[in-house]
Amino acid sequence: MINKKEHLLGFCKNVGIKFKNLELLDQAFYHRSIQNEVHNVKSNERLEFLGDSVLGFATASYLYKNFENPEGELAKIKSAVVSEKTLASIAKKIGIDKLLVLGKGEKLSGGSEKPALLADCMEAIIGAYYLDSGYENAEKYVLSFIVPEIELICKEGMKDYKTLLQEEVQKKYKSFPKYEVIKKSGPDHNQTFEIVVQINDFVLGPEKGKSKKEAEQKVAKKALDFLKKEQI
Protein backbone atom coordinates (compact mmCIF):
# COMPACT_ATOMS: atom_id res chain seq x y z
CA MET A 1 0.00 0.00 0.00
CA ILE A 2 1.29 3.45 -0.92
CA ASN A 3 -0.99 5.22 1.56
CA LYS A 4 -0.15 4.18 5.13
CA LYS A 5 -2.61 1.93 6.95
CA GLU A 6 -3.27 4.48 9.69
CA HIS A 7 -4.14 7.13 7.09
CA LEU A 8 -6.62 4.81 5.40
CA LEU A 9 -8.19 3.83 8.73
CA GLY A 10 -8.39 7.50 9.68
CA PHE A 11 -10.16 8.24 6.40
CA CYS A 12 -12.66 5.40 7.03
CA LYS A 13 -13.38 6.67 10.53
CA ASN A 14 -13.85 10.20 9.21
CA VAL A 15 -16.49 9.19 6.65
CA GLY A 16 -18.10 6.43 8.70
CA ILE A 17 -17.24 3.34 6.65
CA LYS A 18 -15.34 0.10 7.32
CA PHE A 19 -13.22 -1.80 4.81
CA LYS A 20 -12.37 -5.47 5.16
CA ASN A 21 -9.70 -5.10 2.46
CA LEU A 22 -7.77 -1.85 2.89
CA GLU A 23 -5.71 -2.55 -0.24
CA LEU A 24 -8.89 -2.11 -2.28
CA LEU A 25 -9.49 1.28 -0.69
CA ASP A 26 -5.84 2.20 -1.23
CA GLN A 27 -6.16 1.47 -4.96
CA ALA A 28 -9.07 3.92 -5.19
CA PHE A 29 -6.61 6.77 -4.58
CA TYR A 30 -4.18 5.86 -7.42
CA HIS A 31 -4.43 8.16 -10.41
CA ARG A 32 -3.24 6.62 -13.67
CA SER A 33 -0.25 9.02 -13.78
CA ILE A 34 1.44 7.03 -10.98
CA GLN A 35 1.73 3.99 -13.26
CA ASN A 36 4.54 5.71 -15.18
CA GLU A 37 6.66 5.72 -12.04
CA VAL A 38 5.60 2.70 -9.95
CA HIS A 39 5.45 -0.73 -11.60
CA ASN A 40 2.69 -3.28 -11.01
CA VAL A 41 0.27 -0.68 -9.63
CA LYS A 42 -3.35 -0.59 -10.73
CA SER A 43 -4.97 2.80 -11.23
CA ASN A 44 -8.42 3.68 -9.91
CA GLU A 45 -10.02 3.94 -13.37
CA ARG A 46 -11.89 0.62 -13.28
CA LEU A 47 -13.12 1.31 -9.74
CA GLU A 48 -14.23 4.75 -10.88
CA PHE A 49 -16.25 3.18 -13.73
CA LEU A 50 -18.01 0.90 -11.25
CA GLY A 51 -18.52 3.58 -8.62
CA ASP A 52 -20.09 5.94 -11.14
CA SER A 53 -22.85 3.37 -11.76
CA VAL A 54 -23.40 2.67 -8.05
CA LEU A 55 -23.56 6.41 -7.33
CA GLY A 56 -26.02 7.02 -10.16
CA PHE A 57 -28.30 4.14 -9.21
CA ALA A 58 -28.33 4.94 -5.49
CA THR A 59 -29.17 8.59 -6.22
CA ALA A 60 -31.86 7.77 -8.80
CA SER A 61 -33.43 5.20 -6.49
CA TYR A 62 -33.55 7.68 -3.60
CA LEU A 63 -35.12 10.38 -5.77
CA TYR A 64 -37.73 7.97 -7.16
CA LYS A 65 -38.76 6.76 -3.68
CA ASN A 66 -38.84 10.18 -2.01
CA PHE A 67 -40.04 12.64 -4.66
CA GLU A 68 -43.14 12.82 -6.85
CA ASN A 69 -41.55 15.21 -9.37
CA PRO A 70 -41.78 14.51 -13.12
CA GLU A 71 -38.91 12.56 -14.71
CA GLY A 72 -37.33 15.70 -16.20
CA GLU A 73 -37.05 17.42 -12.82
CA LEU A 74 -35.66 14.31 -11.15
CA ALA A 75 -33.04 14.06 -13.91
CA LYS A 76 -31.99 17.69 -13.32
CA ILE A 77 -31.61 17.13 -9.57
CA LYS A 78 -29.63 13.94 -10.14
CA SER A 79 -27.38 15.66 -12.69
CA ALA A 80 -26.65 18.49 -10.23
CA VAL A 81 -25.83 16.33 -7.21
CA VAL A 82 -23.64 13.79 -9.00
CA SER A 83 -21.78 16.51 -10.92
CA GLU A 84 -18.01 16.94 -10.94
CA LYS A 85 -18.37 20.21 -9.04
CA THR A 86 -20.41 18.68 -6.21
CA LEU A 87 -18.30 15.53 -5.88
CA ALA A 88 -15.04 17.51 -5.93
CA SER A 89 -16.33 19.80 -3.18
CA ILE A 90 -17.27 16.82 -1.00
CA ALA A 91 -13.92 15.16 -1.77
CA LYS A 92 -12.04 18.22 -0.47
CA LYS A 93 -14.12 18.32 2.71
CA ILE A 94 -13.30 14.70 3.57
CA GLY A 95 -9.59 14.97 2.75
CA ILE A 96 -9.35 12.98 -0.48
CA ASP A 97 -6.90 15.55 -1.87
CA LYS A 98 -4.40 14.58 0.84
CA LEU A 99 -4.51 10.85 0.01
CA LEU A 100 -4.61 11.08 -3.80
CA VAL A 101 -1.55 9.34 -5.29
CA LEU A 102 -0.26 11.15 -8.38
CA GLY A 103 2.71 10.98 -10.72
CA LYS A 104 5.28 13.77 -10.43
CA GLY A 105 4.02 15.66 -13.49
CA GLU A 106 0.41 15.57 -12.35
CA LYS A 107 1.43 16.57 -8.85
CA LEU A 108 3.42 19.56 -10.13
CA SER A 109 0.46 20.75 -12.18
CA GLY A 110 -1.74 20.86 -9.06
CA GLY A 111 -3.52 17.57 -9.69
CA SER A 112 -4.73 17.20 -6.11
CA GLU A 113 -6.76 20.40 -6.59
CA LYS A 114 -8.30 19.46 -9.94
CA PRO A 115 -12.07 18.88 -9.63
CA ALA A 116 -12.06 16.11 -12.26
CA LEU A 117 -9.43 14.05 -10.39
CA LEU A 118 -11.13 14.56 -7.03
CA ALA A 119 -14.54 13.59 -8.41
CA ASP A 120 -13.07 10.51 -10.13
CA CYS A 121 -11.44 9.39 -6.88
CA MET A 122 -14.72 9.88 -5.05
CA GLU A 123 -16.39 7.50 -7.50
CA ALA A 124 -13.51 5.03 -7.23
CA ILE A 125 -13.95 4.87 -3.45
CA ILE A 126 -17.65 4.11 -3.95
CA GLY A 127 -16.71 1.34 -6.40
CA ALA A 128 -14.16 -0.10 -3.98
CA TYR A 129 -16.63 -0.03 -1.10
CA TYR A 130 -19.26 -1.78 -3.22
CA LEU A 131 -16.78 -4.59 -4.00
CA ASP A 132 -15.63 -4.80 -0.40
CA SER A 133 -18.92 -4.57 1.49
CA GLY A 134 -21.81 -4.95 -0.96
CA TYR A 135 -24.43 -2.65 -2.45
CA GLU A 136 -26.40 -1.97 0.75
CA ASN A 137 -23.38 -0.50 2.55
CA ALA A 138 -22.22 1.37 -0.55
CA GLU A 139 -25.70 2.88 -0.95
CA LYS A 140 -25.74 3.95 2.70
CA TYR A 141 -22.39 5.70 2.21
CA VAL A 142 -23.55 7.42 -1.00
CA LEU A 143 -26.75 8.70 0.61
CA SER A 144 -24.79 10.05 3.61
CA PHE A 145 -23.38 12.81 1.40
CA ILE A 146 -25.86 12.92 -1.49
CA VAL A 147 -29.06 13.47 0.53
CA PRO A 148 -27.78 16.76 2.08
CA GLU A 149 -26.90 17.95 -1.45
CA ILE A 150 -30.41 17.05 -2.70
CA GLU A 151 -31.97 18.91 0.22
CA LEU A 152 -29.80 21.95 -0.48
CA ILE A 153 -30.83 22.03 -4.14
CA CYS A 154 -34.50 21.67 -3.25
CA LYS A 155 -34.15 24.54 -0.79
CA GLU A 156 -32.18 26.92 -3.01
CA GLY A 157 -33.61 25.90 -6.38
CA MET A 158 -31.87 24.68 -9.52
CA LYS A 159 -30.92 28.10 -10.93
CA ASP A 160 -27.28 29.15 -10.99
CA TYR A 161 -25.91 32.64 -10.37
CA LYS A 162 -25.64 33.48 -14.09
CA THR A 163 -29.28 32.59 -14.66
CA LEU A 164 -30.38 34.51 -11.56
CA LEU A 165 -28.38 37.58 -12.61
CA GLN A 166 -29.77 37.51 -16.15
CA GLU A 167 -33.34 37.34 -14.84
CA GLU A 168 -32.70 40.18 -12.39
CA VAL A 169 -31.05 42.43 -14.99
CA GLN A 170 -33.81 41.77 -17.55
CA LYS A 171 -36.44 42.56 -14.96
CA LYS A 172 -34.74 45.72 -13.66
CA TYR A 173 -33.07 47.19 -16.76
CA LYS A 174 -34.59 45.32 -19.74
CA SER A 175 -31.04 44.40 -20.82
CA PHE A 176 -28.56 41.52 -20.49
CA PRO A 177 -25.30 41.17 -18.52
CA LYS A 178 -22.21 40.88 -20.72
CA TYR A 179 -19.20 38.77 -19.68
CA GLU A 180 -15.65 39.39 -20.86
CA VAL A 181 -12.39 37.52 -20.28
CA ILE A 182 -9.84 40.22 -19.44
CA LYS A 183 -6.93 37.94 -18.61
CA LYS A 184 -5.91 34.33 -19.10
CA SER A 185 -2.79 32.94 -17.41
CA GLY A 186 -1.01 29.66 -16.77
CA PRO A 187 -0.20 26.66 -18.99
CA ASP A 188 -2.90 25.06 -21.14
CA HIS A 189 -3.53 22.23 -18.67
CA ASN A 190 -3.87 24.56 -15.67
CA GLN A 191 -5.21 27.94 -16.80
CA THR A 192 -6.75 30.71 -14.71
CA PHE A 193 -9.39 33.01 -16.19
CA GLU A 194 -10.24 36.52 -14.99
CA ILE A 195 -13.67 37.70 -16.04
CA VAL A 196 -15.71 40.90 -15.60
CA VAL A 197 -19.42 41.41 -16.10
CA GLN A 198 -20.94 44.58 -17.54
CA ILE A 199 -24.46 45.70 -16.64
CA ASN A 200 -25.34 48.76 -18.69
CA ASP A 201 -22.35 51.07 -18.06
CA PHE A 202 -21.39 49.42 -14.76
CA VAL A 203 -18.50 46.91 -14.75
CA LEU A 204 -17.92 44.44 -11.92
CA GLY A 205 -14.97 42.18 -11.30
CA PRO A 206 -12.66 40.71 -12.17
CA GLU A 207 -13.21 37.33 -10.52
CA LYS A 208 -10.86 34.39 -11.07
CA GLY A 209 -11.59 30.75 -11.85
CA LYS A 210 -9.92 27.62 -13.22
CA SER A 211 -12.52 27.67 -16.01
CA LYS A 212 -14.57 30.37 -17.71
CA LYS A 213 -17.70 28.89 -16.18
CA GLU A 214 -16.32 29.09 -12.63
CA ALA A 215 -15.14 32.69 -13.06
CA GLU A 216 -18.47 33.72 -14.63
CA GLN A 217 -20.40 32.19 -11.73
CA LYS A 218 -18.24 34.06 -9.21
CA VAL A 219 -18.60 37.43 -10.90
CA ALA A 220 -22.35 36.87 -11.41
CA LYS A 221 -22.73 36.21 -7.67
CA LYS A 222 -20.84 39.43 -6.93
CA ALA A 223 -23.12 41.37 -9.27
CA LEU A 224 -26.22 39.86 -7.64
CA ASP A 225 -24.98 41.00 -4.23
CA PHE A 226 -24.54 44.53 -5.59
CA LEU A 227 -28.00 44.48 -7.14
CA LYS A 228 -29.58 43.41 -3.86
CA LYS A 229 -27.89 46.36 -2.12
CA GLU A 230 -28.98 48.63 -5.01
CA GLN A 231 -25.39 49.63 -5.70
CA ILE A 232 -25.81 49.25 -9.47
Query: In the Cβ-directed half-sphere of 196, how many Cα atoms lie within 13 Å?
Result: 11
Q: Is 123 tagged catalytic?
A: yes
Count CB-CB contacts under 10 A for residue 96: 24
| Side chain identity at residue 185, one-letter code | S
Q: Is 6 tagged catalytic?
A: no
Which H/E stretch holds residue 205?
A: strand 202-209
Check 52, 149, 168, 216 and give the catalytic one. Answer: 52
| Side chain identity at residue 149, one-letter code | E
Which H/E stretch holds residue 208?
A: strand 202-209
d(CA 84, CA 86): 6
Check 106, 120, 123, 149 and give the catalytic one. Answer: 123
Would you say how long the chain is, in residues?
A: 232
d(CA 99, CA 28): 10
| Catalytic residue ranges | 52, 123
